[in-house]
Amino acid sequence: MTEINTQMSALSTPVQIWVNWMMLVLLLSVFFIRKHRPARFVFLAFLITMPAAMAIFYFAHNVHLFALAHIMVWTPLLVYLIRIRKSEGLKRLIKIRGPYELWQTLLMSTLFISLIFDVRDVFLVLIGEK
């Protein structure tokens, strides 16, 4: 566990802030679980991601490969969330009517941005840059 902590503390301050932001946005799903099925999937994805990331770290010993867990779990989640919003019409895709829609929009934006960085991280590990 100390190896993870050492590598995590070596990450830049903006990256550490981003990691905390992601955790916060994902954990906010607990406020919407009761009434919104997608929030249940988000919370489940949150619960699955950490053990998956730890398993990857166990074999690879590189925190940058946590990105693999994000890609495997969050890509289908993001596609699901976009389809739900889009199925209700294009206006619904961009309209924010309350706290749930605001959270969902922040979540989808956060997942999208994170996945871009995750693909980059995996690529950089593969070419030996990280």
Instruction: Give domain limits for the chain.
Output: 2-126
For 14-73, what is each residue's pLDDT tens digit? Answer: 999 999 999 999 999 999 999 999 999 999 999 999 999 999 999 999 999 999 999 999
User: How far apart are the C-alpha atoms of 63 and 56, rounded to whole Å?
Assistant: 9
Statement: residue 81 has pLDDT above 60:
yes
CB 81 within 8 A of CB 104: yes
